[in-house]
């Protein structure tokens, strides 16, 4: 007889592993099936986020930032470090160590919470059964009252630039360079392209980012986006907008990218090329023909607001379903679904999910942009406060950027917070908490913020929504 569980989760990324732990904590007999093998061929948990996404990219961003700071900024602080060098192999080894520590941690959390882990590929069969094919090729069938699909996403590819070992790579390959490429091309000026472009630019690559759209960071508030482009360009990122890549040629160890822009047909030659044109939902070998789980027209598993698929008792969460492809969104959906299965009421507030771009300075936002609100005809008041007027920013040596708060012009309710600045990714939680509690800009303005902190810019931006910032002439 096949083993029966209350919940079987397929995929152990930040959606799946969080869902499995929560379900087990709620007393449900839970299994999690994961097929990921790391570069040493070891079965590991953590999915894209821990293995080749959020965490390794941040390890490289931090290392490259420290290096660039020591090289470019220490002198201003009176620190002499005339001969700063980067050992790229050591940087990559440190990143691998952090990844191993975290993925190993998930295995321990599974044990501690009583989640049964299966290493192999899970396939949803009809009748809420899951077939697990182990890495040794052996099959077994499990049964469940509920199934949570959390199979994630994979990098999208484009025909003009097929991946070519060591030369044209996706985001995963860009986390593994053994030396700094002299000339680096990045296709895609989205979050991942800008982060990876920044890493290698700081280490000395001449970086060109090709973005097909004519606006930079089209989903961000455009006041913030324009300033971000200025700062990144000053750092040396050559950002080409309206640049549509049409082809590539490989010769010796170089790749020539062909593209069209306002000036017509162009080409540029690089030592490495990173393709970061987005990610697509991953459903390969996941569903049997009679599973009954529907996909939408873009290949995402179709779900409702509570992540229910077209089959009762089968849920799907994270990158494989609609919504932003973010780890914390996947985790929140995992918690919601586990709670629902355990009989609780649960929701995800999709209007209050923060976005962060971990460049330097960081870009972070929550809620709506001024452009979106104006397009919807919502009357708004905005308060903007620059870090150049914040004492702590001066002491830190980074006065770039600003905080922008957008409130409803009549009710004063905060509808969006947008930050460009050092630690914006931490500060944005001021906005997340405020918006989750339905705060007005005045509520924030009346709170006491510690001095001297960067978050004082949030306070001042809230004060300036009705024109009363203190430190602004
Ligand atoms: P995944 O993390 O993709 O996990 C899915 C898992 O399911 C995988 O382990 C896969 O092996 C497994 N799986 C798939 N099919 C099967 C099957 N049939 N059987 C068994 N197992 C299966 N997000 C952020 O929020 N912040 C960031 O800073 C950030 N940085 C990123 C940087 C990079 C370079 C990349 C590539 C992504 C980044 N992301 C970031 C996005 C983030 O990684 C994803 O949104 C997140 O991992 C999605 O989680 P998930 O659980 O839905 O899917």
Answer whether the bond into residue 452 is a cis peptide, omega within 30°: yes
Which of 353, 362, 381, 389 is closest to 462 using CA atoms?
381
Cβ atoms of 359 and 353 within 8 Å: the answer is no
What average pLDDT does range 451-457 have in this prediction? 98
- Please report the ipTM that was assigned to this predicted complex: 0.99
Neighbours of 299 (CB within 10 A): 12
Cβ atoms of 123 and 284 within 8 Å: the answer is no
Return the pLDDT at 300.
98
Cβ atoms of 296 and 322 within 8 Å: the answer is yes
- Summarize pLDDT for 358-392 with one digit per residue, the tens: 999 999 999 999 999 999 999 999 999 999 999 99
Residue 1 pLDDT greater than 70, yes or no: no
What's the CA gap between 176 and 279, in Å, rounded?
19
Instruction: Please list the residue range(s) of the chain that carry CATH number 3.50.50.60.
Output: 4-155+280-342, 168-277
Instruction: Please list the residue range(s) of the chain that carry CATH number 3.30.390.30.
Output: 354-466
pLDDT band at residue 2 under the 50/70/90 scheme = confident
| Residues with catalytic function | 451
Which of 23, 27, 43 is closest to 35 using CA atoms?
43
Q: How far is the CA of 170 from the centre of ligand 1 (A)?
A: 14
Alpha-carbon distances of 303 from 9, 296, 310, 348, 374, rounded to whole Å = 16, 9, 7, 13, 30
- pTM of the shown model: 0.97
What's the CA gap between 210 and 242, in Å, rounded?
8
Domain 354-466 has CATH 3.30.390.30: yes
What average pLDDT does range 421-425 have in this prediction? 98
- Summarize pLDDT for 40-89 with one digit per residue, the tens: 999 999 999 999 999 999 999 999 999 999 999 999 999 999 999 999 99
pLDDT band at residue 473 under the 50/70/90 scheme = confident
Give me the CATH code for the 4-155+280-342 domain, please: 3.50.50.60
What average pLDDT does range 123-147 have in this prediction? 97
Please give the number of the atom of ligand 1 that sits closest to the Cα of 33: 20
Answer whether the bond into residue 148 is a cis peptide, omega within 30°: no
Mention every residue, 6+ apart, whose C-beta is less than 8 A from residue 54: 14, 327
Alpha-carbon distances of 27 from 20, 21, 30, 442, rounded to whole Å = 11, 10, 9, 43
Q: How far is the CA of 51 from the centre of ligand 1 (A)?
A: 9
What's the CA gap between 130 and 117, in Å, rounded?
13
Backbone phi, psi, residue 285, to 5°:
55, 25
Q: What is the largest CA-CA distance in the chain?
A: 76
Which of 217, 221, 248 is closest to 233 using CA atoms?
217
Joined together, the tokens standing for residue 302 give 């179709």
Nearest Cα residue to atom 53 of ligand 1: 152
Question: Which alpha helices (DSSP H) does 136-262 contain, by range?
Answer: 171-174, 191-202, 222-234
Which of 161, 188, 159 is closest to 249 using CA atoms?
161
Q: How far is the CA of 153 from the centre of ligand 1 (A)?
A: 6
- Summarize pLDDT for 289-323 with one digit per residue, the tens: 999 999 999 999 999 999 999 999 999 999 999 99
What's the CA gap between 380 and 378, in Å, rounded?
6
Task: Please state the residue numbers annotated as binding site for NAD(+).
Answer: 188-195, 211, 278
Task: Please state the residue numbers annotated as binding site.
Answer: 58, 122, 188-195, 211, 278, 319, 325-328
Fold of 168-277: FAD/NAD(P)-binding domain (3.50.50)
109 burial via Cβ count (<10 Å: 0-12, 13-18, 19+): middle
The mean predicted confidence, pLDDT, of the chain is 97
Residues recorded for the chain: 473
What's the CA gap between 426 and 240, in Å, rounded?
29
- Summarize pLDDT for 176-234 with one digit per residue, the tens: 999 999 999 999 999 999 999 999 999 999 999 999 999 999 999 999 999 999 999 99
SS3 251: strand
Joined together, the tokens standing for residue 50 give 């821990």
Q: Does residue 147 line the site of ligand 1, with CB under 6 A?
A: no
Neighbours of 147 (CB within 10 A): 28
Burial 341-361 (b: 16+ CB within 10 A, else e): bbeeebebeeeebbbbbbbbb
Q: How far is the CA of 13 from the centre of ligand 1 (A)?
A: 5
Please give the number of the atom of ligand 1 that sits closest to the Cα of 17: 51
What average pLDDT does range 121-142 have in this prediction? 97
Q: For the chain, report the end-to-end CA distance as a whole number of angstroms.
A: 76
SS3 106: helix
SS3 208: strand
Task: Please state the residue numbers annotated as binding site for FAD.
Answer: 58, 122, 319, 325-328
Residue 340 pLDDT greater than 70, yes or no: yes
């Amino acid at each position: 007889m096949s083993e029966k569980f209350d919940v079987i989760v397929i995929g152990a990324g930040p959606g799946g592993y969080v869902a499995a732990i929560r379900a087990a904590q709620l007393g449900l007999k839970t299994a999690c099936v994961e097929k990921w093998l790391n570069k040493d061929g070891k079965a590991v948990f953590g999915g894209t986020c821990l293995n080749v996404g959020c965490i390794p990219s941040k390890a490289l961003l931090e290392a490259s930032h420290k290096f660039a700071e020591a090289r470019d900024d220490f002198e201003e602080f009176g620190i002499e470090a005339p001969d700063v060098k980067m050992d790229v192999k050591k940087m990559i080894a440190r990143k691998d160590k952090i990844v191993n520590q975290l993925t190993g941690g998930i295995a321990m959390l599974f044990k501690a919470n009583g989640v049964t882990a299966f290493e192999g590929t899970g396939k949803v069969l009809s009748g809420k059964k899951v077939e697990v094919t182990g890495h040794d090729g052996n099959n077994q069938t499990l049964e469940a009252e509920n199934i949570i699909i959390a199979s994630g996403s994979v990098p999208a590819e484009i025909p003009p630039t097929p991946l070519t070992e060591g030369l044209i790579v996706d985001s995963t390959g860009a986390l593994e360079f053994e030396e700094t490429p002299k000339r680096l091309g990045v296709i895609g000026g989205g979050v991942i392209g800008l982060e990876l472009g920044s890493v290698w630019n700081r280490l000395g690559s001449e970086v060109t980012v090709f973005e097909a759209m004519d606006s930079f960071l089209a989903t961000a508030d455009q006041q913030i986006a324009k300033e971000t482009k200025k700062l990144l360009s000053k750092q040396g990122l050559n950002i080409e907008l309206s640049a549509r890549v049409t082809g590539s040629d490989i010769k010796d160890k170089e790749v020539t990218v062909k593209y069209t822009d306002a000036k017509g047909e162009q080409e540029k030659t690089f030592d490495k090329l990173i393709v970061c044109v987005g990610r697509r939902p991953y459903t390969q070998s996941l569903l049997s023909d009679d599973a009954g789980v529907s996909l939408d027209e873009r290949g995402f598993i179709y779900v409702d607001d509570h992540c229910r698929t077209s089959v009762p008792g089968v849920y799907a969460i994270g990158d494989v379903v609609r919504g932003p492809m973010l780890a914390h969104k996947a985790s929140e959906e995992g918690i919601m679904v586990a709670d629902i299965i355990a009989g609780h009421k649960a929701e995800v507030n999709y209007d209050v999910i923060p976005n962060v771009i971990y460049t330097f300075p960081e870009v972070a936002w929550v809620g709506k942009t001024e452009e979106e609100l104006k397009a919807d005809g919502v009357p708004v008041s905005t308060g903007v406060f620059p870090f150049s007027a914040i004492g702590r920013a001066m002491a830190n040596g980074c006065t770039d950027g600003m905080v922008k708060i957008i409130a409803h012009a009549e009710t004063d309710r905060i509808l969006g917070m947008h930050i460009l600045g050092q630690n914006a990714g931490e500060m944005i939680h001021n906005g997340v908490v405020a918006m989750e509690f339905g705060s007005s800009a005045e509520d924030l303005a009346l709170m006491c913020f510690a001095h001297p902190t960067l978050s004082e810019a949030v306070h001042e931006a809230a004060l300036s929504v009705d024109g009363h910032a203190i430190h602004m002439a």
